[in-house]
Structure 1
Amino acid sequence: MYWMYNVVVKDPSIEDYVRKTLNKYYGKWINLSRKQKNNSYNIVVSTGEKTSIQLTDPITVHIQLDHKLIGQQFKLAKIIETGRAFLRNHIVWNNTYKLGLKGEMLEQYEIKPAYDVWLALGKDYHKLLLSTGLNPPINALINKRFAGEHYVYDGPYLHGKIIVPDKGYMLKSIKYKDKVYESIDLDEILKKNNDTLLMNLFVARRFLDSLGKPDIVLVSFSGGKDSLVVLHMAKMHYGEDMVRGIYVDTGVDFPHTRKYVEEISTMLGLEIDIVRADVDILLPKKGLPTKNNRWCTLRKTHAFKKRLKWYKKRFDRILVLVGDRDSESVLRARKPPVRKREGYLEAAPIKQWSTFLVQLYHLKYDLPLNPLYLKGFYRLGCYICPALTALEKHVMFNYMFRELKDLYWFKEFWRRNQ
């Protein structure tokens, strides 16, 4: 049996403690073994005088647990989560940014389960950073942390940080150092990280192998970077005749995204079903969604399931692939990589990946990003989405206003955010 995650315990005296912890906090989706596996993410657990975490190769992390903590299941679970974060976010400076061990530690760099890391790709993103009062290199590294703090790096140096508030769309920044590098070369980044990318890709492909042979593979495609990686990966793994994308159009999606979805369908030679959720039609009655009343999400889910029902009548073994990643939210991190649903199997092959790794995949296979990412967006959704961050609203209201001002519901959304 294949497991995406493999916890390795060689000391019999702590094996039962680790097993009980895994059963309590992870159910049955993390394996316990005495040997490492070369096709899984390995988390090696031992004991010592103090707790430490060390990356040993791109898919293996070694956790030394303070022997005084033995028996404390919650603390072990938290340390395992941090270990998983090390696998995706341990970046050093080796004449460029590199996932791994060999290189200079980044200044004040931190790794925690809820943090993410990515490159601020392109000149438009750079202009956005300039507008905050910072002056980092083009393609600077960003480390997203708690409380809306975005640490911006210039080579190994902490250049400054942007503070994204919970409300409004006004950003604050703190500059620590003057610029050292003009630009971070993307070809060099890809070259230095190619082996790590391939090892993560190998795990993802081995994971797909373990799911058996479906009759059809459906990819939930949002027009975002993560679901494009999964769509492209599915095509490579299963062949274009086996793969379909499903894109749910709410009627209030960014026009850029709808156009992008159609372009990707042509570029990859894959059919992408475009189904309507009719959020725009219900807006006059229900009003704009809020953080406490995201009724639009139910409409999107219903539209997807309705299309899925059509496929259920025609295929017996259906595999649905999603681009969910642990670093997006605590809720997603708690989900197993495979979920049995009614009439189909749902799986998340890039569950372990950081945004940085997703960007590497785009660079390697020359996959175009949705233009919204190049403007500074972290996640995509509708242009009236209550989950839009202050940073994304800052981009919309200050740099995209002319493009969006004629959209009726955008006007209402803009008024409510003034």
Structure 2
Amino acid sequence: MTDAIDELQWRGLIALSTDLDALRAELSKGPVTYYVGFDPTAPSLHIGHLVQVLAARRLQLAGHKPLALVGGATGLIGDPNPDSERKINPLETVAEWVDRLRAQIEPFLDFTGPNAATMVNNLDWTSQLSAIEFLRDIGRHFRVNRMIAKDAVSARLNSDLGINYTEFSYQILQGMDFLELFRRHGCRLQFGGSDQWGNLTAGTDLIRRVTGETVHLIATPLITDEHGKKFGKSSGGGSLWLDPAMTSPYALYQYLVNTPDSQVGHLLRVFTFCDREEIASLEKETAERPHLRSGQRRLASSVVTLVHGSAEADAAVAAAGALFGRGDLGGLPESTLRAALSEAGLVSAPPDAPLAELMRLAGLVAGRGEARRVVTEGGAYVNNVRVTGGADDPVAASDLLHGRYLVLRRGKKTVAGVDLRAV
């Protein structure tokens, strides 16, 4: 059986843990049941959650048995943010989000065979629990002095906002999850993010108090960009979601293909299943020939393939090339073309607008006079074809991609899109 701990350590996926030597010994004896949980506080997982999903997959590939928990109960509350109060979402919304998150997680795990994965929902063991039972059987094992020492709780207690009792109780519910999975499935290991360490230890403490057993934790590190900010924030400030309707496969590809050279090796370890030899080779090539961006392209295509499938990854690669004259724009699916143009900068314009005005609206020039000069000098392109006509002429309807789009380019690298429709 693969040494899962060594693999996780090599990939930089262990930030905090309980006794790793004891866990390694337990893993070596045979399959261990473990769980990772996700709260439905949004309609989609984001790329930060992918760290946990892939960690669950890695351990399953090493022969162990995953439980994937989507928190229909904890999602009704939300773990406390250090600087803001959680929004309480309607019951129907949370139930819908549970189904959506389950559908995103399921393709990453194998639900057949001796170490088949199981999906679980903590609403199953909390919905029938009375307040008296909760306080008598679970709450009495928690010490308030330890609860208020948790980082997020402490931050809120020391702020003007304070913390409400609902959020304060979140760690009790999460601790109960580990106890219930220990009882129901023999679960002995929980994965989570390092920012959740206080909530993670609530479960191990509860199991020890109730049963006398010692179980295990592994916390993965928070993945950050080169500036130390949370990894996965798009240029617009939002998260990179796994739902293609919220973040297009092309946008995800472009974010990853622009990874700095200094980070590409680390992200290949975290977000792909490339082996050590391939990653070492990609790191070497990135250092020696950075202009090829081999590591970045491998990272981007691998992640998009994992999340959206090979067809979407191929389309993203094709779109990235086609925008800059290295492929067939007309062969791109409309959804991919629009996503690519949205990333480049997509504006709307009336269908009879002259080219010079389109260039101005797209931000390629400051005004029509500059547009005329660029066209005269041969630096303007429509759909990757150099413009040879007049800048004051409208674009022919036959040039429109999918009956509405144009790709405008100034020089080799400055690209924008126009959606020609009545505005």
Q: TM-score range by the shorter chain?
A: under 0.3
| Bigger Cα Rg | 2
The structure where helix makes up a greater share of residues is 2
Q: Which structure: greater strand fraction?
A: 1
Provide the TM-score with structure 2 as the length reference.
Answer: 0.24
